[in-house]
Chains A and B, each alone.
Chain A
Amino acid sequence: MEFKFEGRTKLITQILMGIGLIALIGGFFTDGSDHHQRWWANLLINGFFWFSISLAALFFYALNYAVEASWSAIIKRTFEAMWHFLPIGGGVIIFVLAAGHFFHAHHLYHWMDSTLYHEYMVVDGDQTVYLDALEAGAVENPNYDHIIAGKEAYFTPWFFWLRTLGYVATFLIFARLFRRWSLLEDEKPDLDLHFKQFRRSAVFLVFFAVFSSMLAWDWVMSIDVHWFSTLFGWYLFSGMWVSFMIMLNVGLIWLRGKGYYQEVTSSHMHDISKWMFAISMLWSYLWVSQFLLIWYANIPEEVTYYTQRFFSDYQVPFMITFFVNFAIPFYTLLPRDTKRNSKFIVPVGTLIFLGHFADVYLLVIPGTMFDHNEFGIFEIGLFLGFLGLYINRTLNALSNAPLIPKNHPMLQESKELHY
């Protein structure tokens, strides 16, 4: 069965994209903050959030291949469709990073200021020469930041850009390969191709394990550049994974309501809801693990992240986000019946999904907008715009291939899945 992307659905996504475009343009000119900081911060948030959902789709696809999971064979086309936002999301992130690094269009990343790294300087008229050692005529550099200077090797521009481009390129290459092999398998049964995907998925997971952590440091943790947390990468990774699981669950409910995927049974839906529940708990576990150690040790260089969020205007949204992302899935998704009830999963899933968007929002905003943040129609419009764009790209990719793969060796097993 082929999915057809047309009519009202297509129109709605296009209207959402239109709203997003208006918000993007209108937001830039109505944004009164210095260097349009609020506009850039929200662009980064949305770019990263939707990119990370696509990335989690790619990860989940590879995971299912690498562990030879059979249950997901029937719905693997949805994973493939969901990673088609990767180039756009990656492009937005690279655009924001490049605008800050090369054109100083914004100050989201404090470390992009190249004057921070040198202890001394010589001022000669209009020219300033920065020095690492004291020389005759040199004075102390007032911009010098001892902590950031200690991280200079990591933030050297060529190294930073090698990493950033390396992550995105690696993900895109694997995504293309997986998609090509998946479509190739439809043409004729080929067990060798299946095992090739199995091996390449394992290779991808090795890259993903390192890159998912490092991209979290590079793109998100470096906003709070004086602060560090070793489990930050896993924390973001669990957040992107649960957002993806919710998107998949709600998307499949919608597709089944439209008459597609009738072969997908309540056992499949139950399994996806179990993933939603389990990864919500993983996210909560990592949130608490990060918080608990920092709270207990109470070391000044570590607590900055939390003082910025607890003892400020962000306190209420920060606490609500944790409550929504932990308590709601825990108490509502624990029983078996709620996991299978689509009338229940859609509202609860939407709520947790918004909770995880708020989580990403609160990762970026306190370190970039400090006490001057505003939340208004621009943020909502931009979110809706990216939502429309994401759904548009996903459904477009979904309509390009048969919904259920042919010749997947575990297809029959997947169809007969019984919880």
Chain B
Amino acid sequence: MNKVFHVMYDDDDTLKDAASALVAKGIRVKDVFSPFPVHGIDPIIGVKRTRLGIAAFMFATTGTTLALLGMWYFMISDWPMNIGGKPSFSLIENLPAFIPVTFEFSVLCGAHGMAITYLLRNGTLPGMPASNPDPRTTDDKFVMEITTEQNALSADELEAAIKETPLFELSTKDYK
């Protein structure tokens, strides 16, 4: 039988100190639920660096390509346009006129792509069931999740170590 501990703290600094203390004992913290991003918690509990930036770059590059391709088709190929008194009918020569649109479309694709990816990855799209263990973590409490599955210590040893930290509340659940 595996056990999961939800350790609640009422301050982000207390949480960070407790996490450091537990990690120093070789305990692996699975996750932290907090109402706001806790600065500096990631390296303590060993969260991998996000790849969201790379995704954003790829979305933005897609936007740049689509914008240029679209404008080339609309304004050069399909219906040649006289742009700013310069009827050159060439993408490269009319490029300055396309730069603002290209920029805006890149930002649009980058921002939307990034936001949707983030929501999907976290399972927080509107209507999705909440995955935080306690509704108070959206208000003013911080919860640390520790499982026996990820740790070599037994449930009793873990509980003893957790109780040494200045916790606010502790709830334990069994799961298969």
Contacts and interface: CB of A to CB of B under 8 A. Distances in A.
A297 B86 CA distance: 10
Interface string A268-286: 0000000000000000000
Interface string B91-122: 00000110110000000000000000000000
B97 A296 contact: yes
Contact of A292 (B39, B53, B86, B99): B99
9 shortest A-B CB distances, which residue pairs? A296-B84, A295-B96, A292-B96, A298-B85, A418-B40, A288-B99, A298-B84, A296-B97, A292-B99
A125 interface: no
What does DSSP make chain B's interface, helix, strand, loop or mixed? helix
B57 interface: yes
Interface centre among B40, B85, B86, B96 (most CB of A within 10 A): B96
A181 interface: no
Contacts of B96: 288, 291-292, 295-296
A298 B99 contact: no
Given A291-B96, A296-B96, 18 more contacts: A288-B96, A288-B99, A292-B96, A292-B99, A292-B100, A295-B84, A295-B96, A296-B84, A296-B97, A297-B84, A298-B84, A298-B85, A298-B86, A334-B57, A335-B53, A336-B53, A418-B39, A418-B40
Nearest to B83: A296
Interface residues of B, number: 11
Contacts of B57: 334
Nearest to B103: A288
Interface of B: 39-40, 53, 57, 84-86, 96-97, 99-100
Interface in A321-346: 334-336
Nearest to A291: B96
A292 B99 CA distance: 9
A336 B57 CA distance: 13
A288 B97 CA distance: 11
Nearest to B100: A292
A374 B57 CA distance: 42
Nearest to A295: B96
B87 to A, nearest CB: 12
Contacts of B53: 335-336
Nearest to A297: B84
A335 B33 CA distance: 28
A65 B99 CA distance: 37
A205 to B, nearest CB: 29
Nearest to A334: B57
Contacts of A334: 57
A3 B39 CA distance: 35
Nearest to A288: B99
Contacts of A335: 53
